Chains A and B, each alone.
Chain A
Amino acid sequence: MKLTLNKFHVKDIQFSEKSSFSEGVLHISKAELAEYLLKDPNISSVDFDIARPGESTRIIPIKDVIQPRYKKSGTGQIFPGFVGDVETVGNGETNVLEECCVATSGKIVAFQEGIIDMSGPGAEFNSFSKMNILVPLIQPADGLDKHTHEATVRVAGLKTAAYMAKLSLECTPDGTETFEHESILEMGAKYPDLPKVVYVDMVQCQGLMHDTYVYGLNVKGILSTLIGPLEVLDGAIVSGNCAAPGHKNATIHHENNPIILDLLKHHGKDLCFVGVLLSNESAMLNEKMRAAYYTANLSQLLGADGMIASEEGGGNPETDLMLNCKFHEKKGIKTVLVTDEYCGRDGASQGLADVTPEADAVVTNGNGNQFVVLPKMDKIIGDIEAARVITGGNANSIGEDGTLSVEIAAIMGSCCEMGYEHMTTRLR
């Protein structure tokens, strides 16, 4: 498979009469985009706002972050099962808007929604603060139940992202990046001496608004399965997850899965990247065991020598992470785990809910309990009152002077367990 990403650097987003993309500026017609989104009768109204890097702007509450992409050629269309139909993706050319994302907001769906600060100390905790952000503020129809509300906002975000990238179809990209990935038998013959590595992408699908979608399917209840890395980069995995904002894998994380990107860089040089295994984090112990046993089984069937696993969420998913480690190591497959920790505001508590002695190679992406006081921002997009109820916030989060005191679990993607950001913890 061969996938080329046509990259367009977005210098600015502006509202205009007509939507278009030219010379790095994305012009968005509110009316045109609203008309498209309002085709969904579950949305009563939608407005839009723009946040730019360096501005004194805070966006809250944010459900999902999505990078605009649209396929120019190849099979299927971006976000298959939602925007595209269910045909497989991962080949041809896909237009990508860089330094740009959609952050869905509006009436809060659940407590697990986050914050992006565009400047100040809060901006240091994620990459989104360095992007031009279009924020759809989505108000659900009266009486919409929470589960339909979640689905409505999820799909509206994906449609917005696709709409934006589609505007670039006739334009010339600033640069391109091509990824190639052979079939398993081919790569085995091509790289007989390189260690075979699989990536275990743990997805959190427990029902109850902790769900992830692959080709539009909620993969709750699946037996662990294999997916090509280029499919993931082409929007095959979509987040519907209401887990803590600091460590939920948002759609943008799946589209830019940093472990996949790094393994592709090493592929054919110092390792042979066999593929991605989706291992579900169920809420039930028996299902956790089945997922981990079967993931290790697939790794063995594929002839893996090494495995790297990323987690989503925290608490009970630590059991999935540790079982995946244990069952792989038992088969002689060397394992690295990528996670984060919750070790208290002072960092003195044990930060994982489950452990296993085989987990001797672990990457941590930070302590989500770190407490920060973020300065007042001139502009709030969304509703600052949400800070009192979201994960990481509390009743006293909003200071009289406009400061915001939260644990960094409230900041979107701050401790991303795919290792998207540049943070770790050190013992002192």
Chain B
Amino acid sequence: MKKIVHYINQFYGQFGGEEAAGMTPVKKEGPVGPGRSLNEALSGEGEITATIICGDNYFADNSDAALSEILKMIEAEKPDIFIAGPAFNAGRYGLACGNICDAVKAKLNIPVLTGLYPENPGVDMYKKTVYIIETPMTAAGMKDVIPKMASLAAKLLNGDEIGFPEEEGYIPQGFRVNVHTEKNGAERGVDMLIKKLRGEPFTTELPMPVFDRVAPAPALKDLKHARIALITSGGIVPQGNPDHIESANASRYGIYDITGLDSLSSDSFTSVHGGYDPVYAMDDPDRVVPLDAMREVEHEGVIGELYNHYYATVGNTTAVSNAKKYAEDIAQDMIKNHVQAAILTSN
């Protein structure tokens, strides 16, 4: 029989309400409280061999210590899966469930599962790494939630393919995956338009994503003494593309020395960008990375100096997560090299 460890708070563990919320973690054998119906619903697919009970306040106020104590207790049981809650809309309890699930998954590499109301603060923090069954606000919905948790737990235990959120009842984790459809995209589009024209309900396939907004930094007060760097997403790299920057969805960037150069010659530099016609950029790479113009303003004393390296990547069908990662690296490198400002060129 596959082993399950279950986590609940002091209330569901039958130690009491707020007055018991400071209790330190304890481990009990077998299922307790909601664990009993969960065990029943699992009908032999697995068995709750231990229940860990901890006070909400104790976990919230001593997260690191509580987490390490609880992890030790769980590890000792060598479970096949870890289940926490359901915690409904209880904030502290929900955060604890998410936090412990996340930690167990990272440390023991076993499947984890909890149940929360969509607005519980634990959802946004942990939905990417933890399967969270969607619950109503309060424990009045317990009888609906338990079968869903048991069903998903059984699939996780058996290594079955996990279906989509609508089928399994978990809160979407935020990953968009390609699936094949019966109708082609055009037919789906025309169907959607007919519904929209008739005022009938329709479902968009792509809810508009939300963008991060970056507030522009204040202008430089003293350009004459500033060190300025050049950054490009236009794919200008030394001939031979030494860092193997991809022509699309680049996963890396390069830092290239321009000490002593007054311009970028086509003999030494080229474009590897896969999203634009590179003829003119290859002919004169300064068209994308304006080294020649920057040298002029440097000689004229308009700027203090041009930083002696430039940063390059390819911005073409590039995922924001990649771009963000190397933008952070590039920013750190510029700070380290006392760069005060940068000019970003695309293509």
Seen from chain A, the residues whose Cβ lies within 8 Å of a Cβ on chain B are 110-112, 124, 145-147, 195, 197, 207-210, 242-244, 258-259, 261-263, 266, 270-271, 305-308, 310, 314-315, 334-336, 338-339, 341-352, 355-357, 359-370, 389-396, 407-409, 416-428
Contact = CB atoms under 8 A, between A and B. Distances in A.
B248 interface: yes
Contacts of B33: none
A326 to B, nearest CB: 12
Interface in B245-269: 246-249, 251
Contact of B247 (A111, A145, A262, A422): A111
B183 A427 contact: no
A427 B165 contact: yes
B238 to A, nearest CB: 14
A191 to B, nearest CB: 13
Contacts of B276: 208, 210
Q: Which 7 A-B pairs have the closest CB atoms?
A: A419-B185, A344-B319, A350-B209, A208-B277, A419-B186, A258-B186, A395-B244
A207 to B, nearest CB: 8
B274 A423 contact: no
A354 B173 CA distance: 23
Q: Chain B: interface secondary structure?
A: loop
B184 interface: yes
Chain A interface SS verdict (over half): loop
Interface residues of B, number: 58
Interface string B182-208: 111111111011101100001011101
Given A146-B279, A336-B193, A364-B205, A423 B176 contact: no
Nearest to B170: A428
A416 B173 CA distance: 26
Contacts of A360: 204, 208
A315 B320 contact: no
Contact of A367 (B177, B183, B278): B177
15 contacts: A197-B197, A270-B194, A310-B189, A334-B197, A342-B319, A348-B175, A361-B193, A369-B249, A389-B247, A392-B317, A395-B246, A419-B184, A423-B179, A428-B172, A428-B176
A145 B248 CA distance: 24
A427 B174 contact: yes
Nearest to A359: B208
Contacts of B194: 266, 270-271
A228 B190 CA distance: 18
Interface of B: 128, 164-165, 172-190, 192-194, 196-197, 202, 204-206, 208-211, 241, 244, 246-249, 251, 272-280, 316-322
Given A306-B193, A347-B176, A315 B317 contact: yes
Contacts of B186: 258-259, 261-262, 310, 338, 418-420
A369 B202 contact: no
B178 A367 contact: yes
B204 A343 contact: no
B296 to A, nearest CB: 26
Contacts of B320: 344, 349-350
Contacts of A420: 184-186
Contacts of A338: 185-186, 189
Contact of A391 (B173, B181, B209, B317): B317
B197 A271 contact: yes
A389 to B, nearest CB: 6
Given A339-B206, A351-B176, A351-B206, A145 B188 contact: no
A88 to B, nearest CB: 25
A348 B174 contact: yes
Nearest to A358: B208
A406 B211 CA distance: 27
Given A364-B205, A367-B177, A389-B274, A258 B184 contact: yes
Contact of B277 (A210, A266, A352, A395): A210
Nearest to A356: B208
Contact of A145 (B164, B196, B244, B279): B279
Given A407-B248, A428-B165, 15 more contacts: A208-B279, A209-B279, A262-B190, A306-B197, A339-B206, A344-B249, A345-B319, A348-B321, A350-B209, A350-B320, A351-B176, A351-B209, A363-B189, A363-B205, A428-B164
B274 A344 contact: no
B204 A361 contact: yes
A160 to B, nearest CB: 24
Given A334-B197, A423-B185, A424-B188, A344 B321 contact: yes
Nearest to B128: A348
Contacts of B247: 111, 389-391, 393-394
A424 B197 contact: no
Contacts of B188: 363, 419, 424
A342 B205 contact: no
A355 B204 CA distance: 14
* Residue with the highest number of chain B CB atoms closer than 10 Å, among A242, A341, A344: A344
